[in-house]
């Protein structure tokens, strides 16, 4: 099961990936998580990426492709993987296809979680994250319901940055949908519903 997850920031890709990981044990490769870890660790890659991330812009292709290519060499990805947040452009998709071809592990599907942009703005600006366990909740959660930790709003979850991220997504990432449709790999799911209903549709669409 080699899958690329598509959809705007906040569409619920991470939620669906977590459900697939829990049920099937497939490694979830989130470039967002990888980049945030690099920023937190203060690595050269993290410092380079931070200025782009803070502005809501895309991190340059060479940085992302290097990260993902390294990760796909790890033994846990041999039986499958879920790529989340990569590729984000057609150029990245072509580069990914080339890397997967070398590894002899082509994609099985490109799964699009489709949500209206205004729903996403409302969803993301009310999102809060736990500093301790990374639980994602809402503004109603004063403390983390999972571990009791402090909840905070990520710098990139303010409205101006969210709208910029959606604009960047629309301009540079949306062509990916046409790319994967042309490859006959695109599977589209309505993401503006209860996550469990969405997940049932995801499994059916992927034949799981």
Write down the pLDDT at residue 115.
Answer: 93
pLDDT for position 19 = 93
Catalytic, out of 13, 71, 105, 171: 13
Token pair belonging to 118 = 């205004």
Separation of alpha carbons 195 and 172, rounded Å: 27
Note the pLDDT of residue 56.
Answer: 80
Section 161-178 average pLDDT: 88
Whether 105 is catalytic is no
Binding site membership for ATP: which residues?
Answer: 10-15, 127, 193
Domains by residue range for the chain, with CATH: 1-115+172-204 (3.40.50.300)
pLDDT at residue 16 in the model = 92
Specify whether 122 is catalytic: no
Q: 59-80, pLDDT tens digit by residue?
A: 888 778 877 877 888 899 988 9
pTM equals: 0.74
Mean pLDDT (the chain, rounded): 89
At 88-103, the pLDDT tens digits run 888 889 999 998 898 8
Structure tokens at 50: 């931070």
Confidence of residue 83 (pLDDT cuts 50, 70, 90): very high
pLDDT at 10 (0 to 100): 85
Q: What is the rounded distance in angstroms from the CA atom of residue 178 to the CA atom of residue 52?
A: 26
pLDDT (tens digit per residue) in 25-61: 999 988 877 788 778 888 787 888 888 888 888 788 8
Reply yes or no on whether 13 is catalytic: yes
Q: Is 165 a catalytic residue?
A: yes
- Other CB atoms within a 10 A radius of the CB of residue 184 amount to 8
Give the number of other Cβ atoms within 10 Å of residue 149's Cβ: 16
The answer to whether residue 123 is catalytic is no
For the segment 106-139, what is each residue's pLDDT rounded down to a tens digit? 999 999 999 999 999 998 899 899 999 989 899 8
Residue written as tokens 């809402």? 138
Catalytic residue among 40, 102, 131, 154: 154
d(CA 150, CA 131): 6
């Amino acid at each position: 099961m080699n899958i690329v997850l598509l959809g705007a920031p906040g569409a619920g890709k991470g939620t669906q990936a977590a459900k697939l990981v829990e049920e099937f044990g497939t490694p979830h490769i989130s470039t967002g998580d990888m980049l945030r870890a690099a920023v937190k660790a203060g690595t050269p890659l993290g410092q380079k990426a931070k200025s782009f991330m803070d502005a809501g812009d895309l991190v340059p292709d060479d940085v992302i492709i290097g990260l993902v290519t390294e990760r796909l060499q790890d033994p846990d990805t041999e039986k499958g993987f879920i790529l989340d947040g990569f590729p984000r452009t057609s150029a990245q998709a072509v580069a990914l296809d080339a890397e997967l071809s070398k590894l002899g592990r082509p994609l099985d599907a490109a799964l699009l979680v489709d949500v209206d942009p205004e729903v996403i703005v409302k969803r993301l600006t009310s999102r809060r994250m736990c500093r301790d366990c990374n639980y994602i909740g809402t503004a109603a959660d004063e403390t983390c319901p999972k571990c009791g930790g402090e909840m905070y709003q990520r710098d990139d979850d303010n409205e101006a940055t969210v709208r910029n991220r959606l604009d960047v997504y629309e301009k540079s990432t949306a062509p990916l949908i046409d790319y994967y449709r042309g490859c006959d790999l695109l599977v589209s799911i309505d993401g503006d519903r209860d996550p469990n209903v969405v997940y049932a549709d995801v499994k059916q669409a992927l034949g799981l």
